[in-house]
Structure 1
Amino acid sequence: MSDFKFTIPYSARIADINYGNHVSNAAVMNFFQDGRIAYLEHFDCSELDIGGVGLIMPEAHVRYHREMFLGDVLQIAVRIESMRKSSFIMEYQISRDDEITVEGSTNLVAFDYDKRKTARIPLRFRESVADFEGRSEWID
């Protein structure tokens, strides 16, 4: 997780557990969302407002490495891996005791909910994230 500059703690709850007695696939997507929301809040943004436009998610990927269980103390790491004019790839890494349990990514697209169409990523958001992630090439 050394390449990830943003992490939040999470303890697996009973609602996260499925009939296999481990964390469910659906819960992992919720973990990603919790991490994404916290990451965006770090920049005073939300999924509905990154500076005048919101976000939609047309694609998600998950890769499981280890099971997670009730009560596990997890770290959810989040970063933006790449950014284009209207979209970015957000990566996630969930770990327990410094061992990776799950990795994943989502493609997030800037979206104007009033006009119901994609939009450019606002410059203020782009600049803030580029500065935080050390990626000056993302600035227009």
Structure 2
Amino acid sequence: MARIRLEMPSDYSFSTLIPVRITDINYGGHMGNDAILSLIHEARMQYLRSFGYTELDFAGIALIMADVGIEFKKELFYGDTVNVSVCAGDFTKLSFDLYYKLEKEVDGNWQTVALAKTGMVCYDYAKKKVSALPVEAKEKLSF
């Protein structure tokens, strides 16, 4: 069976530290895959906020997540702190991708625990249809 292999950028424009909560831990004693997706969501919100945006106000339009891909590399446990690096790329008229690199510190070195990509589509909730990517937002998120 083929595995997902994400092509990741080499540079990230944003990073944030997020602690693993006890509620993130599953019956296997490590962070569950659903909690990884929630952690990515938190990182996305912080990333957007760093530009003055939210998912519901992205330069006057909203964002919806069209797809997600996650490569799991290592386990996370209660008490770990995750460094999540984020950047945007692959801009089109209506959408763009966000890339996430999740790392934890082990013996003084940062080790990758997961890689992820979310496809974000610009959306007008009032009209219930996709909308053009705001030029202002593309310029801010491009680096």
Q: Quick one: percent identity of the two aligned structures?
A: 31
Q: Would you identify which runs of 4 or more consecutive aligned residues in structure 1 move more than 6 Å?
A: none
User: Which position in structure 2 is the counterpart of 1:125?
Assistant: 137
Query: Do the aligned residues in 1 keep the contact of 2:25 with 2:77 (CA within 8 Å)?
Result: yes
CA shift, 1:2, in A, is 6.0
From the two aligned structures, give the one with the greater helix fraction: 1
Counterpart CA distance in 2 for 1:69 and 1:9 is: 15
Query: Do the aligned residues in 1 keep the contact of 2:31 with 2:77 (CA within 8 Å)?
Result: yes
User: Which position in structure 2 is the counterpart of 1:80?
Assistant: 88
Counterpart CA distance in 2 for 1:117 and 1:29 is: 25
Q: How many residues align?
A: 131
Say whether residues 1:26 and 2:38 are aligned partners. no
| Corresponding residue to 1:110 among 122, 125, 135 | 122
| Corresponding residue to 1:101 among 102, 110, 113 | 113
Unaligned runs of 5+ in 2: 1-8
Unaligned runs of 5+ in 1: 134-140
CA shift, 1:90, in A, is 0.5
2:90 is paired with a residue whose SS is: strand
User: Which position in structure 1 is the counterpart of 2:47?
Assistant: 39
Counterpart CA distance in 2 for 1:81 and 1:69 is: 30
Deviates more, 1:120-129 or 1:86-95: 120-129
Query: Do the aligned residues in 1 keep the contact of 2:87 with 2:141 (CA within 8 Å)?
Result: no
CA shift, 1:5, in A, is 2.0
TM-score normalized with structure 2 length: 0.88
User: Which position in structure 2 is the counterpart of 1:4?
Assistant: 12
User: Which position in structure 2 is the counterpart of 1:138?
Assistant: none
TM-score normalized with structure 1 length: 0.90
2:43 is paired with a residue whose SS is: helix
Residue 37 of structure 2 aligns to which amino acid in structure 1? M
User: Which position in structure 1 is the counterpart of 2:99?
Assistant: 91
1:31 is paired with a residue whose SS is: helix
User: Which position in structure 1 is the counterpart of 2:68?
Assistant: 60
Residue 13 of structure 2 aligns to which amino acid in structure 1? K
Counterpart CA distance in 2 for 1:100 and 1:53 is: 33
